[in-house]
């Protein structure tokens, strides 16, 4: 089941890349394992999946421990991170996708022992329930943390609204792409900002058409498994 699902997802990634005339090597699939046990994550690792994500600190640490024999795995923390939990996890991850406040950046700067590749989370549609900066706040924030040598802004991340139409999805993802380009055009030394973390099980082909370089996929991998 996992094998079939992965094959199907890879096929869809390939099709979306062809449609957008992009190279498939520019899109990284991250397996979001929050809905499964470590044993299933281990099966994924055996099938060659090397990017794994969790949205909770305790679950990420648990999975990483269980999969310690798979040293090639890159660990992504994709969910909201409370400041008091930064010290527990920041030196255990390769990527952090949900940088959403100056205070959180300060704590990461204080606790990280190496440079962490981070995505600034952006709330494109301004939904109250969502984390993330408003689009206009992103550049000032990135400039504000210019001196934080433990934080490298490699790109931007967003979550599309639930139940959005295809048209709305295209709009949200292309907004994020525009913002990413505007920031990378500044050539800030702390923010190459070349990457876009967007697209989940239900919308990743659209996200890829709009420029996603990291897609975060959970449900579609484990469907029926």
Ligand X SMILES: *Cc1c(COP(=O)(O)O)cnc(C)c1O
Q: Is 168 exposed, middle or buried (0-12, 13-18, 19+ CB in 10 A)?
A: middle
Residue whose CB is less far from ligand X, 190 or 220:
220
The answer to whether 78 contacts ligand X (rule: CB under 6 A) is yes
8, two tokens: 């199907």
Nearest one of 88, 101, 110 to 134, comparing CA atoms: 101
- Is residue 201 near ligand X by the rule CB under 6 A? yes
Smallest separation (angstroms) from ligand X to the CB of 48: 19
Q: What values do phi and psi take at 148, rounded to 5?
A: -80, 95
Separation between Cα atoms, residue 154 and residue 118, nearest integer Å? 6
* Nearest distance from C-beta of residue 12 to ligand X, angstroms: 12
**Integer Cα distance of 122 and 130 in angstroms:** 9
CB of 9 to ligand X, least distance (A): 10
Q: How far is the CB of 52 from ligand X (least distance, A)?
A: 12
Segment 140 to 199, residues that bind ligand X, using CB under 6 A: 159
Residue with the closest Cβ to ligand X? 218
Least distance to ligand X, CB of residue 216, Å: 4
- Which of 56, 188 has the CB closer to ligand X? 56
Tell which one of 55, 117, 190, 213 touches ligand X (CB under 6 A): 55
* Per rule CB under 6 A, count of chain residues that contact ligand X: 14
Pairing of strands 28-32, 214-217: parallel
- Contact pick of 66, 200, 223, 225 for ligand X (by CB under 6 A): 200
Nearer to ligand X, 122 or 190 (CB): 122
User: What whole-number distance in Å separates Cα of residue 121 and Cα of residue 154?
Assistant: 12
Helix (H, G, I), strand (E, B) or coil at 6: helix
Contact predicate 66/38, CB 8 Å: yes
Q: Which residues bind ligand X (CB under 6 A)?
A: 32, 34, 55, 78-79, 159, 200-202, 216-220
């Amino acid at each position: 089941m996992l094998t079939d699902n992965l094959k199907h997802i890879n096929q869809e990634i390939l099709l979306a890349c062809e449609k957008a005339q992009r190279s498939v090597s520019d899109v990284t699939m991250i397996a979001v394992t929050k809905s499964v046990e470590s044993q299933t994550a281990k099966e994924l690792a055996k099938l060659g999946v090397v990017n794994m994500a969790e949205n909770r600190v305790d679950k990420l640490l648990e999975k990483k421990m269980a999969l310690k024999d798979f040293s090639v795995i890159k660990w992504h923390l994709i969910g909201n991170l409370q400041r008091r939990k930064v010290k527990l996890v920041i030196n255990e991850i390769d990527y952090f996708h949900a940088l959403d406040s100056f205070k959180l950046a300060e704590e990461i700067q204080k606790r990280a022992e190496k440079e962490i590749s981070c995505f600034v989370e952006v709330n494109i549609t301004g939904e109250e329930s969502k984390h993330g900066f408003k689009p206009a706040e992103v550049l000032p924030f990135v400039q504000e943390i210019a001196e934080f040598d433990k934080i490298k802004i490699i790109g931007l991340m967003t979550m599309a609204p639930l139940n959005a139409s295809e048209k709305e999805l295209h709009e949200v993802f292309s907004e994020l792409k525009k913002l990413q380009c505007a920031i990378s055009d500044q050539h800030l030394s702390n923010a190459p900002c070349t990457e876009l973390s967007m697209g989940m099980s239900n919308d990743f082909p659209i996200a890829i058409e709009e420029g996603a370089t990291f897609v975060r996929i959970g449900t579609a991998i484990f469907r029926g498994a």
